[in-house]
Structures are given as C-alpha cells and as structure tokens.
Amino acid sequence: MLRKCTFVRAARWIIALCCWLAAAQARAEPAFVTIEGDRKTIAWWVLANFHPFTTEVRGIPAREIRKSWCKATEFRKDLIPRELLFEGGTDAMAAANMSFAVEGRFDGTAAKQVALVGVFEECSGQKGRFILILNQPAQGKPKIRFVNALRTDHQFGALQKGDDDSIVAWTCMECDNFSVLKWDRKKRKFDWQAAPVEQ
C-alpha cells in the first residue's frame, strides 16, 4: 500500500511539473505578430514583426523548402489579432480583394495550385517573407512548383488572383508596391513580369 501511495504522489508531482514547464514555455514564446511603434501614425503591417513558430508549411518541412530554414509559418487570418485586420471595423484585406492564399490553375493545366505567403526564419536567426506555389494533389503531400524568399525586416505580404491567371503579390495593403507572377509558357516556369513602363 505504501509503495502504491508513493507511486501516485510521484506521478502527480511529474504531471504538475510538466504542466508548469508547458505554461512557462507558452509564456516565453512571443506572439506570432508583435507591433513596435505608433499605430496612429504608421500602418500596422509596416510596424509588424512576425515570429514563425512552425517547422512545416502544408505538410512540407521547412528544410525541404530551403535548406537554411528552421521555421516557416504561412500567414493566416486566425494568427493575426482581429484588431489589426479589422481596424476601423472593416476587413481591410477583404475590401481590397487581398488574401494570404489564392487558388487557381495558374500554369494553365488541369492541376490545381495554391499560392501562399508567409514568414520564414533561417537557422542563423535571419527572417524574411516567402511566396510558395504548390500543386494540390487529391492525396498526399503538395508538390513545390515555385519558391521566392526575401530576407527582410518587413515580412508582411498578401496576394490577389489576377484576371489572366497571374498572381499579384503585395508587400502592403494601401500602396502601389506589388509584383506580378505568371506562368511563362516559353520558359515553362513561373516568372516575375516586367513592371509596366510609365508614360
């Protein structure tokens, strides 16, 4: 009987210790988005610093995307505080027809693709923004079709689906800073389009 009581006490102590360690670790982890600066004068997406916390994107390990990556997290609305996305009471991204992921048949084939944006962290600690285009098979892991990664202190990114099966990549929500990504039939790959010449 004494041995059983000792075992129960030890088990309770171990469970309590595990709970305390888990709570301490949760407190130590930064939020996915932190804001440094005055949101009254500067837009939140300019001030935002993103902290990737996952080691895979849609089932693909970060190191398979780029060997130098230890973490990569896809941007999702549920990861960003509502007061940022719904500043002024409206969904600014929806109003601008922007999203963190868009689906389509961007290469003109029957294969369905998804383009998405997110933040990566290299094992050295450097962070940046990425854009991925993935084939979405009916079963199994998605296949990487395109990767674009840029080390930057301003990791925010959003996408729009263009009328001509292009992907419009934005680095802000209220500016003219965008790039267009499109399937090049001659090169048989996704490529950035040249910026239009101003008249």
Q: Which residue has the higher pLDDT, 126 or 1?
A: 126
pLDDT at 32: 95
Percent of the chain scored above 90 by pLDDT?
60
CA-based end-to-end distance of the chain: 90
Q: What distance in Å separates the CA atoms of residue 112 and residue 107, rounded to the nearest whole number?
A: 9
Instruction: Please report, for residues 32, 56, 84, 86, the alpha-carbon distance to residue 90 in angstroms, rounded to integers and kept in the order given.
Output: 22, 31, 10, 5
Can you say how many angstroms the Cα of residue 98 is from the centroid of all Cα atoms in its chain? 14
Query: For residue 198, what is the DSSP state?
Result: P
105 is written with which tokens? 């048949």
Nearest 5°: CA angle at 48, between 34 and 162? 135
Say what the pLDDT of residue 17 is: 43
pLDDT score of 199 more than 50 = no
Instruction: Calculate mean pLDDT across residues 146-156.
Output: 95
What does the pLDDT look like over 86-138, one tens digit per residue? 887 888 898 889 999 999 999 988 889 999 999 999 999 999 999 999 998 88
Residue among 146, 138, 59 nearest 107 (CA): 146
Mean pLDDT of the chain: 85
Average pLDDT over residues 57-66: 96
- 56 vs 118: CA distance, rounded Å: 11
Exposure string of 154-167, with b = 16+ CB inside 10 Å and e = fewer, is bbbbbbbbbeeebb
From the list 185, 191, 188, 160, the residue with the least C-alpha distance to 173 is 160
